[in-house]
Structure 1
Amino acid sequence: MGDVKYWDTSYGKALDELSDQVKAVKGASAAEKEAKIATATQTVRRLQGMKRSYNLEIKLMRDATQKASYQEEKNAKDAKLTELEAQLEEAKNKPAGSDKVSLFSGRAAEEPKVKTADQKLDQAEIIQNKTEAKYKNIITVLEQTEEVGSATAATLQEQRAQISEITENVMEMDGMLTRANKLIMVFSRRLATDKMIQCFAFINVAALVAIIVYVVIKNVGLPGSSSSAPPPAATTT
């Protein structure tokens, strides 16, 4: 908002300067005319730059009411600039001191000036329309860029969430693998212990079987058992 006010004020002041300079060119002598024309031409160039900046600031306004008000002010100033440019162009081609001719020299003499001003107004309107179209294209591109940036940010956020989820899953799998490794070590120790117990049991059973087989083969009786009947008593005759 502040930039629009600045360009509106600067544009108006520069137009007043140009108006005074055009009057000075019209009333200048032959020796002074070239210098005054150069000064006025430089002011016209400066006004063209202000006009573009002013128009850009109006395009960027969001308040429709204020935008329309400033646009109306700018159109009036643009028309004044076009008129002053036409007057300056006419003053360049007019000999010094020729403004002292009679005001009643004829209506036909004024018609070329009016036509020149109208032509410049039409040309300014065409340029303004082209400029507006370019600014609209720029705004459209900026909006599309903003949409693409928002979509890219959303995609990156989604990818970040997926990466976090994958990281959590990997950490969980790592914990499960560590736990499984510990269980395997415990089972391996238990299995080794069970094999030793089975080995000792097998040795004991084998020793017992060997003793039984040995006893059977050698006919060794167990203690407290009678291995044979007592001899018969002798008979006397």
Structure 2
Amino acid sequence: MATEDVDDYHEQLVEKCADIEHAIANLGTNPDMTLEEEIGEVKQDLKWAKQLMMSYRVELRDLTTVQQATYRQKTKAHTQRLQQLQVDLNMAVKEAKRQALLPAAGEEGVELGTRETLSQAEALQGQSQASVARSRAMVEDTIEVAASTATTLQGQTEQLGRIHAGVEEVESNMKRADRQLRIFARRMMTDKIILCLIFCIVVAFIMVIIYSSIKGRNDKETSAPDEFKPQ
């Protein structure tokens, strides 16, 4: 099967991931958009990239096993990059919101004390750690799913190997049976020829006996005296 569709999805994923990475790095710098609008746009792009990834995986299923092997590393790289972009987006959103919050508080003339600043910093750190923990759990789940999938594929490969061996054994048995049938047929032909020869011999033997009997009777009639011959 042709791989043009798979290559097309691969190129789209590379371009889309590069765009998302650039957008994350520049969050809060677009004067024509609010921070929330920028975040929403990046989330939409990331969602679209994940849909592209799903289509990419669907197209891979239509390829042969050999063709799929050539795209295995690319698939892994796309999966890891999308996961990392999700983590980077979450971190960048929190950092952008924190940076946007501090100037607003200063503009209103609210001076945060040392304890309040430390408290906010600890809260943000806790949120960041929780986000990292969730991302790590998601990566671990993905690794487990990948390991399970690899185990399943290995089992299926072994099963296909056993099926192939069984098919080869059946073919070998069929060839052996075909040879035996040909040998049996030749033997049957030989037996028929032998039977025909035996029949011919028996017929010839009977004919010899009949001929000998007739000839002997004629000889006796010829050698008898005239007075004993029928008048």
TM interval, shorter chain, is: 0.5 to 0.7
Aligned counterpart for 1:29 among listed residues 34, 38, 50: 34
Note closer, same or farther for the CA distance 1:99–1:131 as it changes in structure 2 (3 Å cut): same
Q: CA deviation at 1:174?
A: 0.7
Note closer, same or farther for the CA distance 1:128–1:147 as it changes in structure 2 (3 Å cut): same
Aligned counterpart for 1:147 among listed residues 155, 158, 162: 162
Q: Does 1:112 align with 2:127?
A: yes
- Larger Cα-atom Rg: 1
Q: Does 1:101 align with 2:101?
A: yes
| In 2, Cα distance between equivalents of 1:114 and 1:17 | 26
Look up the match of 2:84: 80
Q: Do the aligned partners of 1:24 and 1:36 also contact (CA within 8 Å) in 2?
A: no
Alignment of 1:160-171 (within 5 A): 160-171=175-186
Look up the match of 2:216: 201
Q: Secondary structure at the match of 2:158?
A: helix
Q: Do the aligned partners of 1:21 and 1:36 also contact (CA within 8 Å) in 2?
A: yes
| In 2, Cα distance between equivalents of 1:188 and 1:9 | 91
Note closer, same or farther for the CA distance 1:110–1:181 as it changes in structure 2 (3 Å cut): same
Identity %: 4
Q: CA deviation at 1:141?
A: 1.4
Q: Does 1:125 align with 2:134?
A: no
Letter in 2 for 1:42: W
TM-score, normalising length: structure 1: 0.59
Alignment of 1:9-24 (within 5 A): 14-24=16-26
State the Cα RMSD in Å: 4.5
TM-score, normalising length: structure 2: 0.61
Look up the match of 1:41: 47
Note closer, same or farther for the CA distance 1:182–1:22 as it changes in structure 2 (3 Å cut): same
Q: Do the aligned partners of 2:23 and 2:42 also contact (CA within 8 Å) in 1?
A: yes
Q: CA deviation at 1:107?
A: 2.9
| In 1, Cα distance between equivalents of 2:56 and 2:172 | 44
Instruction: Spell out, residue by residue over 1:137-157, the C-alpha distance to the aligned partner (whole angstroms, 9 max, x if none).
Output: 122111221122113212321
State the number of aligned residues. Answer: 195
Q: CA deviation at 1:23?
A: 4.0
Note closer, same or farther for the CA distance 1:49–1:123 as it changes in structure 2 (3 Å cut): farther
Q: Do the aligned partners of 2:28 and 2:35 also contact (CA within 8 Å) in 1?
A: no
In the alignment, structure 2 segments of 5+ residues that lack a partner are 104-116
Q: CA deviation at 1:108?
A: 1.6
Letter in 1 for 2:166: A
| In 1, Cα distance between equivalents of 2:56 and 2:91 | 20
Q: Do the aligned partners of 2:27 and 2:35 also contact (CA within 8 Å) in 1?
A: no
Q: Do the aligned partners of 1:44 and 1:85 also contact (CA within 8 Å) in 2?
A: no
